[in-house]
A and B are shown apart, each in its own frame.
Chain A
Amino acid sequence: EIVLTQSPGTLSLSPGERATLSCRASQSVSSNYLGWLQQKPGQAPRLIIYGASSRATDIPDRFSGSGSGTDFTLTISRLEPEDFAVYYCQQYGSSKAFGGGTKVEIK
């Protein structure tokens, strides 16, 4: 069973700043099956990155994903007000797992 650990738990930043979120897996994950989801309060999760680095439909290019093996990163280049949310990494291969989430909050 793969365990995904996200850090930090909370990231306090101002609009316009850069956000860097980390996801570490307990064993190697195929990049094809690593994604990132965004969730705002009271809303369903929304896919933003799949295959470690591909943006989902209608996701702006300020969002980017990178990494391989056991270490993956989500970067938001310049935070917009609508980007403040909780972000989850996800492994969606034959076994499925979610990280515990990183909350990006307004400083």
Chain B
Amino acid sequence: EMQLVESGGGLVQPGGSLRLSCAASGFTFSTYYMTWVRQAPGKGLEWVANINQDGSGKYYVGSVKGRFTISRDNAKNSLYLQVNSLRVEDTAVYYCARELPRFDLWGRGTLVTVSS
């Protein structure tokens, strides 16, 4: 069964950092673009960042550039999002998804809460 499982979320103070992880299974992870999408409480979906198959190409939404870093480890079938300098407005559920380019497989998400 193809699956994505996120982890690493939690409560953090403004200015803090977290490393989100996404573990992939059931498909050849190294052959796909991967992406992060977030959803603030009660709000819609927002694309955050994506990365190409070998990690040489990374793209970000403007609001996170310079603060968030996407990466991957194909040997570990894992995707990461390092989130630094967190703001209250970064509070959201963070989902990883597989890009075909359509987003056809999603994880269940991990909640990041930024609050003092």
Residues of A within 8 A of B (CB): 33, 35, 37, 43-47, 50-51, 56-57, 88, 90, 92-93, 96-101
**Which of A92, A99, A101 touches B101 (beta carbons < 8 Å)?**
A92
Which applies to chain B's interface (DSSP): helix, strand, loop or mixed?
Answer: strand
A88-B44, A97-B47, A98-B44 given as contacts; is B104 within 8 A of A50 (CB)?
yes
**Which of B101, B107, B108 touches A33 (beta carbons < 8 Å)?**
B101
- B102 x A45 contact (CB < 8 A): no
Which residue of chain B has the shortest Cβ distance to A34 in the bound complex?
A: B102
**Which of B46, B100, B107 touches A44 (beta carbons < 8 Å)?**
B107
On chain B, the residues within 8 Å of A100 by CB distance are: 44
- B102 x A50 contact (CB < 8 A): yes
Report the separation of the CA atoms of residues A86 and B81 in the bound assembly, to the nearest whole angstrom: 27
- B45 x A56 contact (CB < 8 A): no
Nearest chain A CB to B64's CB is how many angstroms away? 13
Report the separation of the CA atoms of residues A44 and B108 in the bound assembly, to the nearest whole angstrom: 5
Which residue of chain B has the shortest Cβ distance to A32 in the bound complex?
A: B101
Nearest chain A CB to B80's CB is how many angstroms away? 19
Nearest chain B CB to A52's CB is how many angstroms away? 11
- A47 x B102 contact (CB < 8 A): yes
Give 13 A-B contacts (CB < 8 Å), ordered by A residue: A35-B102, A43-B108, A45-B103, A46-B106, A47-B103, A47-B104, A50-B100, A50-B102, A56-B102, A57-B104, A88-B44, A88-B45, A90-B45
Nearest chain B CB to A31's CB is how many angstroms away? 12
- A45 x B108 contact (CB < 8 A): no
